[in-house]
């Protein structure tokens, strides 16, 4: 029988493209300098396994014959997490949770284990911590039921054996970069190891109807470490965002085969673990200054949820030949565009001034509806006139200075009214779509000139 031979191949870390030689640019994703060298064993043709069961298992199924009763979603005990997942956990799904070190990924999943273990069998597999270390972390969260079982292992073959023997309903893998297969000679965390171990976990999840959460480390660019094919293989990709030195955390879905990818969940890190923030708008507006210029409240939609945030701007005369432009929490290119619109359409000489824009609270918002808030904050700071603290605004600003319509205007107005705002500045073309404006004054504007006249 022919023996397996070891060959050297090159993998793209971004998309998993395989090549027999090193290349500067990947033909698959067009990224530069992403190829890494790895040694793998290729089996001879006589060693390839036939399909299990021969041709008897190769049968098709009518879509009307598929039973959906077993696919009912299960709640995690966290309303914010269920919102991001699209309504709860789907049995047999593979969920990837990524985030910076120390952001709270393991803490969140351990709390999910605590909630799920009340009604089902849960297996927590750690490749980074010992049983005692997990216990120390669990003690500050609270009491755990016997439905949660711990297992410390990094070999995917042994993990498969334990899962098949225990048959839990949910499994947590912490983390995928530490799991390896003995059939692959490369080091754990390499492209081939991550691809092979994720493929095995995917087969377990689909074949045994087990929900599997896997933790993934992120690179300095903010993406999950390893090949980009990892994100393509899983059903759901969640990113845990936020400054680990701050108290808030934002869970954002960037891929979801079973729900929307626009929803976010907001959590607060406390001594006893992560706590849900039921009203993110109220949480983000805490500490808003009164009577200060360059500050305005705007409304952004995250999926179906309106989120009110404070936009701060500071415009001051520059001491340098080239004025500075800085944006925190929003796109800097968008800020530069809006500064140019103010210069051209509103006659404000901001080109000789430094301009700084900040979304208070550290949350990142890129929706076009934030344009009007940025424009009004810049104009307020430039003119040294404060905007009434009970005023809220939203709308997209075009290059001609026009204020364009945005979607879900009624939901934004309702949220503003709920939090006690008295005036809402919005696009004039959105007013006919409003159905309930009782208790709040509606001001429709057609261009930025009309909006700026509302300041002071």
Whether residue 305 is found in the same domain as residue 179: no
Tens of pLDDT along 295-307?
999 999 988 889 9
Whether residue 255 is found in the same domain as residue 293: no
Whether residue 122 is found in the same domain as residue 34: no
- The fraction of the chain above a pLDDT of 70, given in percent, is 91
The pLDDT of residue 51 is 44
Whether residue 142 is found in the same domain as residue 104: yes
- Residue 89 DSSP label: B
Q: Is the pLDDT of residue 4 over 70?
A: no
Residue 355: inside a domain, yes or no?
yes
Whether residue 135 is found in the same domain as residue 267: yes
Last residue of a domain, one of 222, 250, 278: 278
Can you tell me the distance from the alpha carbon of 99 to that of 250, in angstroms, rounded to the nearest whole number? 10
CB 370 within 8 A of CB 300: yes
Tens of pLDDT along 376-432?
999 999 999 999 999 999 999 999 999 999 999 999 999 999 999 999 999 999 999
At CA 370, angle to CA 369 and CA 376, rounded to 5? 120
Residue 51: inside a domain, yes or no?
no
Can you tell me the distance from the alpha carbon of 254 to that of 2, in angstroms, rounded to the nearest whole number? 45
The pLDDT of residue 53 is 45
Beta strands in 303-420 (DSSP E): 305-317, 325-328, 353-359, 391-393, 396-397, 403-404
Tens of pLDDT along 262-284?
888 989 888 888 999 888 888 88
Exposure string over 88-105, b if 16+ CB within 10 A, otherwise e: ebbbbbbbbbbbbeebbb
Residue 61: inside a domain, yes or no?
no
The pLDDT of residue 284 is 81
Whether residue 331 is found in the same domain as residue 367: yes
Which class for 117: exposed (0-12), middle (13-18), buried (19 or more C-beta within 10 A)? buried
* Closest among 406, 415, 451 to 436, alpha carbons compared: 415
* Closest among 152, 156, 107, 117 to 131, alpha carbons compared: 152
Q: CA distances (Å), 354 to each of 149, 330, 378, in order?
A: 57, 17, 11
Please give the structure tokens belonging to residue 317. Answer: 């005369």
Whether residue 349 is found in the same domain as residue 420: yes
The helix or strand, by DSSP H or E, that contains position 26, with its residue range, turns out to be: none
Can you tell me the distance from the alpha carbon of 447 to that of 389, in angstroms, rounded to the nearest whole number? 22
Total domains in the chain come to 3
- Full DSSP string of 208-221: HT-EEEEEEEB-TT
Residue 434: inside a domain, yes or no?
yes
The helix or strand, by DSSP H or E, that contains position 98, with its residue range, turns out to be: strand 94-99
Residue 384: inside a domain, yes or no?
yes
Last residue of a domain, one of 278, 293, 326: 278
* Confidence label for 244 from pLDDT (cuts 50, 70 and 90): low
* Closest among 32, 11, 10 to 21, alpha carbons compared: 10
Tens of pLDDT along 330-388?
999 999 999 999 999 998 989 889 999 999 877 888 899 999 999 999 999 999 999 99
Whether residue 247 is found in the same domain as residue 303: no
Residue 49: inside a domain, yes or no?
no
Residue 80: inside a domain, yes or no?
yes
The pLDDT of residue 223 is 64
Q: Which domain holds residue 353?
A: 283-452
Whether residue 255 is found in the same domain as residue 287: no
Average pLDDT, the chain: 87
The Cβ of residue 19 has, within 10 Å, a number of other Cβ atoms equal to: 14
- Rounded mean pLDDT, 196-223: 86
Instruction: Find the CATH number of the domain harbouring 309.
Output: 3.30.230.10
Whether residue 243 is found in the same domain as residue 336: no
Instruction: Find the CATH number of the domain harbouring 108.
Output: 3.40.50.300
Residue 53: inside a domain, yes or no?
no
Tens of pLDDT along 111-133?
999 999 999 999 999 998 999 99
Tens of pLDDT along 35-83?
888 776 655 545 545 444 444 567 888 888 887 765 688 899 999 999 9
- Rounded mean pLDDT, 157-178: 93
Can you tell me the distance from the alpha carbon of 288 to that of 200, in angstroms, rounded to the nearest whole number? 50
Can you tell me the distance from the alpha carbon of 92 to that of 70, in angstroms, rounded to the nearest whole number? 10
The pLDDT of residue 52 is 45
Can you tell me the distance from the alpha carbon of 35 to that of 201, in angstroms, rounded to the nearest whole number? 25
Last residue of a domain, one of 278, 313, 340: 278
Whether residue 288 is found in the same domain as residue 256: no
């Amino acid at each position: 029988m022919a023996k397996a031979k070891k060959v050297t191949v090159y993998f793209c870390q971004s998309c998993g493209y395989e090549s027999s030689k090193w290349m500067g640019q990947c033909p698959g994703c067009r990224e530069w300098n992403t190829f890494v060298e790895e040694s793998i064993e290729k089996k001879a043709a006589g060693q390839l396994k036939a399909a299990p069961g021969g041709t008897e298992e190769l049968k098709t199924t009518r879509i009307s014959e598929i039973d959906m009763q077993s696919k009912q979603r299960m709640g995690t005990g966290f309303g914010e997490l269920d919102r991001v997942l699209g309504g709860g956990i789907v049995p047999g799904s593979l969920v990837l949770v990524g985030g910076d070190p120390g952001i709270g990924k393991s803490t969140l999943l351990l709390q999910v284990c605590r909630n799920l273990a009340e009604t089902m069998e849960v297996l927590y597999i750690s490749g980074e911590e010992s049983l005692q270390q997990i216990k120390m972390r669990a003690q500050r969260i609270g009491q755990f039921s016997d439905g949660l079982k711990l297992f410390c292992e990094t070999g995917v073959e042994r993990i498969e054996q334990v899962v098949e023997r225990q048959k839990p309903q949910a499994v947590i893998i912490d983390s995928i970069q530490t799991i390896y297969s003995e059939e692959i000679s490369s080091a754990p965390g390499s492209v081939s190891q991550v691809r092979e171990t994720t493929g095995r976990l995917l087969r377990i999840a689909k074949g045994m109807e087990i929900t599997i959460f896997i933790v993934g480390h992120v690179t300095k660019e903010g993406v999950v470490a390893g090949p980009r094919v990892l994100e393509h293989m899983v059903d759901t990709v969640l990113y845990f965002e936020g400054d680990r030195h701050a108290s808030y955390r934002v869970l954002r879905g960037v891929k979801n085969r079973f729900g929307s990818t626009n929803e976010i969940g907001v959590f607060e890190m406390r001594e006893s673990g992560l706590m849900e923030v039921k009203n993110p708008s109220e949480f983000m507006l805490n500490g808003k200054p009164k009577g200060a210029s360059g500050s305005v409240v705007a409304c952004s939609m995250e999926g179906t949820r309106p989120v009110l945030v404070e936009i701060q701007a500071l415009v001051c005369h520059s001491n340098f030949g080239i004025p500075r432009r800085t944006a925190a929490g929003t796109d800097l290119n968008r800020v530069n565009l809006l500064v140019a619109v103010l210069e051209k359409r509103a006659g404000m000489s901001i080109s000789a001034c430094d301009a700084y824009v900040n979304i208070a609270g550290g949350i990142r918002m890129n929706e076009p509806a934030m344009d009007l808030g940025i424009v009004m904050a810049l104009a307020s700071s430039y003119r040294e006139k404060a905007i009434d603290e009970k005023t809220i605004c939203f709308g997209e600003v075009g290059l001609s200075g026009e204020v364009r319509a945005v979607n879900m205007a009624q939901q934004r107005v309702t949220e503003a009214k709920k939090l006690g705002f008295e005036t809402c500045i919005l696009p004039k073309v959105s007013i006919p779509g409003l159905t309930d404006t009782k208790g709040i004054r509606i001001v429709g504007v057609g261009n930025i000139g009309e909006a700026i006249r509302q300041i002071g």
